[in-house]
Amino acid sequence: MVEMVSNPMANEPNPTDIQTTKLYEAWGLTEHEYDLIVDELGRLPNYTETGLFSAMWSEHCSYKKSKPVLRTFWSKNERVLQGPGEGAGILDIGDNQAVVFKAESHNHPSAVEPYEGAATGVEGILRDIFSMGAQPIAVLDSLQFGDVTSKQTQRLIDGVVAGIAGYGNAIGIPTVGGAMNFDATYQHNPLVNVMAVGLLDQDLLHVGKAEGAGNVVLYVGATTGRDGIQGATFASAEFDSSEDQNRSAVQVGDPFMEKLVMDATIQAIQEYGDVIVGVQDMGAAGLVSSTAEMADKAGMGMILDLDQVPQREENMTPYELMLSESQERMILVVKKGHEDAVKQIFTDADLNAIVIGEVTDNKQYQLTFDGALVADVPVDFLTSAPKVELPQTEPARLVEATTAQYQPEVTDATAVLKQLLAQPTIASKAALYRHFDCSVRADTVIKPGGDAAVVRVRGTEKALAMTTDINSRYTYLNPYIGGQWAILEAAQNIVATGAEPIGITDCLNFGNPDDPEIYYELAQSVAGINEVAQVINTPVISGNVSLYNETDGTAIYPTPMVGMVGLHTSTDDITTIQAKQAGDVVYLVGELKAQFNGSEIQHMQTGSVSGDLFSINVDHAQAVQAKILEAAQSHYVNSIHDIAEGGLGVAASEILFGTPFGAELTLAAPIGNAFSEAPSMFIVTVAPAEQAVFEALMGDEATKLGEITENPTLKLVAQDQTINVSVSDVESMYKDSLWQQLQ
Amino acid sequence: MYLAKIKVTYKPSVLDPQGEVIKSALHRLDYETVEQVIQGKYFEVRLSADSLAAANGLVESMTEALLINQNTETYNYTVEEVEA
Amino acid sequence: MYLAKIKVTYKPSVLDPQGEVIKSALHRLDYETVEQVIQGKYFEVRLSADSLAAANGLVESMTEALLINQNTETYNYTVEEVEA
Amino acid sequence: MKSVVVRFPGSNCDEDMFYALQELGLNPSFVSAQSDISLADYDAIFLPGGFSYGDYLRTGAIARFSPIMQAVQAAADNGQLVVGICNGFQILTESGLLPGQLMMNEVPGFICDETLLQVEQAESAFTNAYTTDEILIPVAHADGRYYADEQTLADLESNHQIVFKYTSNLNGSEDMIAGITNKQGNVLGMMPHPERAVDPLIGNTDGQNFFKSILATVATQGVN
Ligand SMILES: Nc1ncnc2c1ncn2[C@@H]1O[C@H](COP(=O)(O)OP(=O)(O)O)[C@@H](O)[C@H]1O
Ligand SMILES: [Mg+2]
């Protein structure tokens, strides 16, 4: 064996070296920020302290750049029990129960290391949920990739899908839905966003605060290794395709261990909720972020003895111990004197559970190592990165754009429909999501393939609907309207299942915010989402920001992913997209606007998107959705499907897939309109007996299109052309295209 | 024809959850003197090449391109000539 | 202290889908001269024992008890003495 | 009737199984795989799906040495019913309570789907309540390819131990085997998940008769 180095810190640069070589800049701190630290401390920070600040003041941990925008989010209504700022947001769903949810990005790690990046993304988001004391019940994923035919994309898809499956399946939380889009803008910056949803008994509502001097800080779960060090700063930096050095920031996940940690944490909160004053998962910037934030929220100090931290590798330094992003670790703060009982739950599950420090009342964040004090900084200073106000400029492409619409070329409408169904963005993703266990826990009522996933709340009449949505072609053409559209689309997917939208989370994936045009896109998208959130009464209760999604100076399209949850008060209201019986009347609900800018057909026919979007009448969109919801809840309808990418033609095909039926429809418009895209449109089937009540409810909003037939043919007669095609023909385009392109 | 035998293991810094679980199982089975278990992968690849040197080159390049994940794994290998 | 290195492979009669998948992936990457790929497992076990012979005995017995499934797998191994 | 669900570290279908047993009147309780109590009091013992011990090494390989497995073995020898679903099946083959082995799917990768099964033995302890010979049951596994040598396969066939077969080649199993019993017929392992198909709300109730069969078997044989 090698001789142990007596002091692992011996080779670290001293404070003066750090100042003169500006080492801190490589870690993401600016000179101005460094100077602030020196001023506040009244001395030069040492290596460990500099590391603490670099992590805590990274955008990933501090949101210093996005905060001015995030602060504008509307996040309060009568349901909100916990808004943004904690591991996850919480909404009241009645009966003393609550739903807990959040979304998280793992873009950079997944680009470098698709399997582990995606797996640890699922892992991290689940920890956010169960650290609130909630039982995770579902995972969703929102994935954006580049050209589906490129080898690089295929390798990414393979890895990401296997990583999500490998983690979610093993830990036993169903992956019930998500989205997968393809566009060249993501070729070098794929996006991997995951969302998790949990259920919480309101008596166990817990927030991560370290109250009470003398209370003990308990470390539970896996040992700490050198993985993922500086992951938070890594996530806050731009990509340079010529560099492979970023690879050291890869963490490896162990779903088996996390399941033990999850079950034990939930059990501990259930049994000892009264003496556990805070719970926080170790995510980005591991130990420092979890402990410092808890101390700060309680207005307390904290002292940690790093020699107690269970270590997987030898000779780890305080810097490494504090910044490691090893997975499957949690911090609990427990009232003094009760730690043994809490520890027992974890040790019974063969997990580490070790007291590593205590809460103090001096508001300092202090670390000891090998008997010496190695860091001593004010807690509130460490956790409040200096604010940054960034300039905004409207990008030239937006200034110049007009709403003059692209006119699609439709010489053979049947061929166009088939071609649309084969587009990777539209075609069925079943060949890929089939790798995800969507039915473990035996609560999944609507599985992947519907508009939103639906998971019942066992032991009650309730169910929860959930979806993730974003079409970044819209946000690229108009960030504000695209933002509105994203949340409206999420809501239309939720109401289509018969659920009332109750709240949202988001993942704001953008380029470098220091570019005023990108900051403008960010601010505008958020404003668009926020406006609609208030109209439809879905507060923003959690979210995540992923900036610097650029390669060699080119940013991705603005991609503000929206994750929404809806509530079914009765499982009887659950409605699915498939046509149910021949003879049912088919309606279009909502206004079919001939809008082609940003549409799938524009992209398909021209290879790109261009032009401005029509402004959205949000109140009208909301009114249509409210009627759809009422129709579902009154059981007037047999099926509902929202009309999204590919327009009415695609949606009309989709309601027939997997059924023995066809449809005969008439559209009082040119055939091109069957491929136009606008928010808040639905295709609905109604039994003849309900036709009158349905029409009375809908008023002008419903247009009768025709009926479901026994003959399995889709016939759509427009003013100028007719689509006439066997359902099995279009269905095979939909089912097989993506899978074939991936071969 | 050449036969390559390639052993792949995690880099020492990478968590090897399987190794730990197997070690505790061995302890439960009373193999108490086991101090460490590392689980890796093992490949045998049969390939033709113009020379042993060429075969070595191919094996290294395919291992790095596909068989291992260079972020987390290392490998070593042998190549020998075998009958076709 | 002894170090055992154990290679486990499927018996030839057992289908090895991973090997096939890897072979076709290698072909797609233009390693066209690859004729066969077998994927197995590799273990390194550090253990103490009274003698090399005892270590060999332990390694065989733990491998057969736990590390392999004798229905489908075979193994070979080496044991060497190493510094503690 | 009393039944018990064994929870291994990493089991994740344990609760699903518990609820299914409860809903269908099999009166379940849980037992930890780490305990070494006797299971002599239970008419039926269920080893649920999941990833016991992370499925590290091989599926079921480590779980097989859990303390509870001695009691499971004793119960099997004693003629009590023992059921392994998915990972439970893998544990039963690893421990030698059932012949053969579950291996990686022919096309590697996890499959989550519903699949048609042919009920091959209408009178078994686990199928006697079925009135049709084709049932639709969820599957969710990456290592579900049943493998055994030719002699074993021939024996399974001639002893009527093959209870369920896939109707199409889902995972490359020998003879399309989805579920088998031991020679005595009291130990069953299957990859598909009947416990995920007991509730009309979830859209499939084809699993109900699996549990009703067990109830009927226990009622007539009166193990306890
Ligand atoms: N990556 C994925 N993981 C799980 N389910 C997915 C994924 N991608 C798509 N799906 C499912 O496929 C269906 C269609 O997705 P999508 O076309 O995005 O729906 P919509 O247009 O209604 O938002 C949805 O049920 C969705 O949950
Ligand atoms: Mg939809």
Q: Is the CB of A51 under 6 A from ligand 1?
A: no
Between CA C34 and CA C69 the distance in angstroms is 28
CB < 8 Å to C44, chain B: 9, 36-38, 40
Q: Is the model's pLDDT at A583 over the cut of 60?
A: yes
The ipTM assigned to this model is: 0.92
- Band (pLDDT 50/70/90 cuts) for residue D202 is very high
Interval A4-40: pLDDT, tens: 446 788 788 889 898 999 989 888 899 999 999 999 9
> Which residues in C have their CB inside 8 Å of a CB on D?
13-15, 17-18, 21, 66-67, 69, 71-72
Q: What is the pLDDT of residue A339?
A: 95
Give the pLDDT confidence score for residue A460 in this predicted structure: 96
Which residue blocks in A401-504 are alpha helix, DSSP H?
413-421, 430-433, 472-477, 479-496
Q: Is residue A178 in contact with ligand 1, taking CB distance under 6 Å?
A: yes
Tell me the average pLDDT across D186-203. Answer: 97
Check pocket membership of A587 for ligand 1, CB cut-off 6 A: no
3-state secondary structure of A67: helix
| Cα A149 to Cα A138: distance, rounded to the nearest angstrom | 31
Range from A275-284, A490-499, A536-545, D127-136 carrying the lowest mean pLDDT? A275-284
Contact at CB, C37 and B43, closer than 8 angstroms: yes
Mutate to test the interface with B, among C5, C27, C31 (most CBs of B within 10 A): C31
How close is the Cα of A193 to the center of ligand 1, in Å?
13
Ligand nearest to the CA of A145: 1
pLDDT score of B84: 76
* Sheet strand arrangement including B2-10: B73-81, B2-10, B34-47, C34-47, C2-10, C73-81
- Which candidate from D12, D49, D195 shows the least CB-CB separation from A259? D12
pLDDT single digits (tens) A328-346: 999 999 999 999 999 999 9
| Cβ–Cβ contact A439 with D under 8 A | yes
| Integer CA distances (angstroms), D189 to A581, D49, D51, D82, D218, in order | 39, 11, 16, 8, 18
Domain containing residue D11: CATH number: 3.40.50.880
* B51 vs A243: which has the higher pLDDT: B51
Eight-class DSSP state of A405: P
**Mean pLDDT over the full length of chain D:** 96
Minimum CA distance residue for ligand 1 atom 27: A177
Q: Considering only CA atoms, which residue is closest to atom 22 of ligand 1?
A: A451
Total domain count for chain D? 1
A743 to chain D, any CB pair closer than 8 A? The answer is no
Instruction: Say which DSSP state C63 is in.
Output: I
Check CB contact under 8 Å for D112 and A255: no
Residues on chain A touching B13 (C-beta within 8 angstroms): 225-227, 313
Nearest CA to CA, how far is D94 from chain B (Å)?
14
| The token pair that represents A294 in the structure block | 């808890």
User: Does this model's pTM top 0.90?
Assistant: yes
What are the chain B neighbours of A112 within 8 Å (beta carbons)? 71
How crowded is residue A619: how many other Cβ atoms within 10 Å of its Cβ? 9
Please report which residue ranges of A90-242 form alpha helices under DSSP H.
107-112, 114-130, 151-171, 231-234
Residue B47 has pLDDT above 70, yes or no: yes
**Residue length of chain C:** 84
Give residue-wise pLDDT tens across range B11-42.
877 778 889 899 999 999 999 999 999 999 99
**Which CATH class name applies to A76-205+442-570?**
alpha beta
What's the CA gap between A290 and A297, in Å, rounded? 11
- DSSP annotation of A370 reads T
Q: Do residues A711 and A663 touch, judged by C-beta distance below 8 A?
A: no
Q: What is the spatial order of strands in the sheet that A559-568 belongs to?
A: A444-446, A453-456, A463-469, A559-568, A500-509, A540-546
Share of chain A above pLDDT 70, in %: 96
pLDDT, mean of residues A545-549: 93
Q: Which residues of D are catalytic?
A: 86, 193, 195
Q: Is A296 annotated as a binding residue?
A: no
Q: Is A641 annotated as a binding residue?
A: no
Asked if the Cβ–Cβ distance from A250 to B13 is below 8 Å, we say no
Question: Which residue does chain D place closest to C11, by CA atoms?
Answer: D149
End-to-end Cα distance, chain D: 8
Q: What is d(CA A653, CA A683) in angstroms, rounded to the nearest whole number?
A: 10
Give me the pLDDT at residue A243, please. 40
Strand blocks (E) in B1-84: 2-10, 34-47, 73-81
Q: pLDDT tens, D79-118?
A: 999 999 999 999 999 999 999 999 999 999 999 999 999 9
Amino acid at C13: S
When divided into structural domains, chain C yields a total of: 1
Q: Is A102 annotated as a binding residue?
A: yes
**Residue A60 designated active-site:** yes
What's the distance, CA D206 to chain centroid?
A: 15
DSSP H helices, A386-429, are: 396-400, 413-421
Single out the residue of D143, D144, D123, D120 nearest to residue D133, CA to CA. D120
Q: What percent of chain A has pLDDT over 90?
A: 81
The nearest CA of chain C is from the CA of B68 a distance in Å of 12
What residues does A279 pair with on adjacent strands? A332
Q: What is the mean pLDDT of residues A582-609?
A: 97
Q: What is the mean predicted confidence (pLDDT) over D195-212? A: 97
How many Å lie between the centroid of ligand 1 and the Cα of residue A561? 13
Residues from chain D contacting residue B39 (CB–CB below 8 Å): 56-57
Q: Report the alpha-carbon distance of residue A275 to residue A204 in Å, rounded.
A: 12
B contact set with D (CB within 8 A): 17-18, 21-22, 25, 28-29, 39
Cα–Cα nearest to A735, from A433, A468, A497:
A433
Tokens coding A29: 């701190």
**With the C-alpha atoms ordered A427, A432, A436, A439, is the resulting torsion angle positive or negative?**
positive
Question: Which three-class secondary structure state does DSSP give residue A382?
Answer: helix
Please tell me which chains touch B, using 3 or more CB pairs under 8 Å as the contact test: A, C, D
Mean pLDDT (whole number) for A161-183: 96
Mean pLDDT over each residue of chain A, to the nearest integer? 92
A204-236 pLDDT per residue, tens: 886 666 678 889 999 999 998 887 776 655 555
Q: What is the DSSP letter of D50?
A: B
Q: DSSP strand E in chain D: where?
A: 3-7, 28-32, 44-47, 81-85, 101-103, 111-119, 134-141, 145-147, 162-166, 177-181, 187-190
Q: Could you tell me if D108 lies within 8 Å of chain A, comparing CB atoms?
A: no
Over residues A408-425, the pLDDT tens digits come to: 999 999 999 999 999 999
Report the relative pairing of strands A453-456 and A463-469 from DSSP bridges. antiparallel
DSSP single-letter state for residue D112: E
CATH number, domain with residue B69: 3.30.1280.10
pLDDT above 60: residue A1: no
Q: In the CATH scheme, what architecture does the domain A408-429+575-743 have?
A: Alpha-Beta Complex (3.90)
- Residue A294: what residue type? M
| Sign (positive or negative) of CA dihedral A42, A45, A48, A49 | positive
Q: Considering every ligand atom, which ligand is closest to the CA of A423?
A: 1
Cα A653 to Cα A432, A593, A684, A731: the distances in Å are 21, 19, 12, 8
Scored b (16 or more CB within 10 A) or e, A538-551 reads bbbbbbbbbbbbbb
What the block records as the tokens of A90 is: 């919480």
Our mutation pick for probing the ligand 1 site, out of A157, A160, A169, A180, counting the most ligand atoms within 8 A of Cβ, is A180
Q: A97 near A81, Cβ under 8 Å?
A: no
Question: Which uninterrupted H or E stretch holds C40?
Answer: strand C34-47
What local confidence, expressed as pLDDT, does residue A252 receive? 78
Domain boundaries, chain A: 76-205+442-570, 408-429+575-743
What is the amino acid identity at position A299?
Answer: G
Is A584 in contact with A707 (CB distance < 8 Å)? yes
CB burial of A345-369 (b: ≥16 within 10 Å; e: otherwise) equals: bbeebebbbbebbbbbeeebbbbbb
Interface check for D62 against chain C (CB to CB < 8 A): the answer is yes
Within 48-67 of B, beta carbons closer than 8 Å to C belong to: 48-49, 58, 62, 65-67
Q: Ligand 1 atom 19: the closest Cα is on which residue?
A: A451
Q: What's the gap in Å between the CA of C3 and the closest CA on chain B? A: 9
**Helix, strand, coil percentages in chain C from 3-state DSSP, rounded to 5:** 35, 40, 30
Tell me the per-residue pLDDT of D28-63, one tens digit each, with 9 for 90 and over.
999 999 999 999 999 999 999 999 999 999 999 999
pLDDT of D19 higher than 80: yes
Cα separation of C59 and C11, whole Å?
20
In angstroms, the CA A141 to CA A159 distance is 14
How many other C-beta atoms lie within 10 A of the C-beta of residue D93? 25
Q: What is the pLDDT of residue A238?
A: 55
**In this predicted structure, what is the pLDDT of residue A240?**
46
CB D162 within 8 A of CB D174: no
Q: Is the CB of A679 under 6 A from ligand 1?
A: no
Cβ(D210)–Cβ(D197) below 8 Å: no
Give the distance (Å) from ligand 1 centre to CA of residue A425. Answer: 10
Task: State the pLDDT at residue B11.
Answer: 84
**From ligand 1's centre to the CA of A433, what distance in Å?**
9
Q: Could you tell me if D205 and D199 are in contact, meaning their C-beta atoms sit under 8 angstroms apart?
A: yes
Query: In angstroms, what CA-CA distances link A526 with A72, A481, A492, A564, B45?
Result: 8, 10, 19, 15, 54
Q: By residue range, what is the domain housing residue B25?
A: 2-81
Helix, strand and coil in chain B, % to nearest 5: 35, 40, 30
A624 near A706, Cβ under 8 Å?
A: no
Residue A284 has what pLDDT? 79
Band (B63; pLDDT cuts 50, 70, 90): very high
* Mean pLDDT along residues C2-11: 96
Question: A332: helix, coil or strand?
Answer: strand
Asked if C36 is an interface residue toward chain B (Cβ–Cβ < 8 A), one would say yes
The closest residue, in CA terms, to atom 8 on ligand 1 is A179
Instruction: Name the DSSP letter for residue A450.
Output: B
Q: Nearest ligand to the C-alpha of residue A144?
A: 1
* Secondary structure (3-state) at A261: helix
pLDDT mean over A497-522: 97
- Residue A479's nearest CA partner among A555, A564, A389 is A555
Of the pLDDT bands very low, low, confident and very high (cuts 50, 70, 90), residue B77 is very high
- Decide if B15 and A312 are in contact by the 8 Å CB cutoff: yes
Distance between CA atoms of B19 and A647, rounded to whole angstroms? 52
Interface test with D, best of C37, C72, C74 (most D CBs within 10 A): C72
Cβ(A476)–Cβ(A519) below 8 Å: no
A122 in contact with ligand 1, CB cutoff 6 A: no
Say which amino acid occupies A425. T
- Extract the tokens encoding C8: 């486990």
Is the per-residue pLDDT at D222 higher than 80? Answer: no
Average pLDDT on A391-407 reads 95
Min Cα distance D11 → chain A (Å) is: 8
pLDDT surpassing 70 at residue A241 = no
Residues A680-737 have pLDDT tens digits of 999 999 999 999 999 999 999 999 999 999 999 999 999 999 999 999 999 999 999 9
**D223, pLDDT greater than 80:** no
List pLDDT tens digits, range A632-660.
999 999 999 999 999 999 999 999 999 99
Residue found under tokens 């599950």: A349
Q: What is the DSSP letter of A187?
A: S
Confidence check: pLDDT of A296 > 50: yes
Distance CA D126, CA C22 (A): 40
Percent of chain D with pLDDT over 70: 99
Report the candidate in D75, D64, D12 with the shortest Cα–Cα distance to residue D33. Answer: D64
Cα–Cα distance for residue pair A715/A444, rounded to 1 Å: 34
- For residue A208, the model assigns a pLDDT of 60
Give me the sheet containing D28-32, strands edge to edge: D28-32, D3-7, D44-47, D81-85, D187-190, D177-181, D162-166, D111-119, D134-141
pLDDT of residue D207: 98
CB A177 within 8 A of CB A452: yes
- Of A263, A256, A251, A266, nearest in space to A170 by CA: A256
A556 in helix, strand or coil?
A: coil
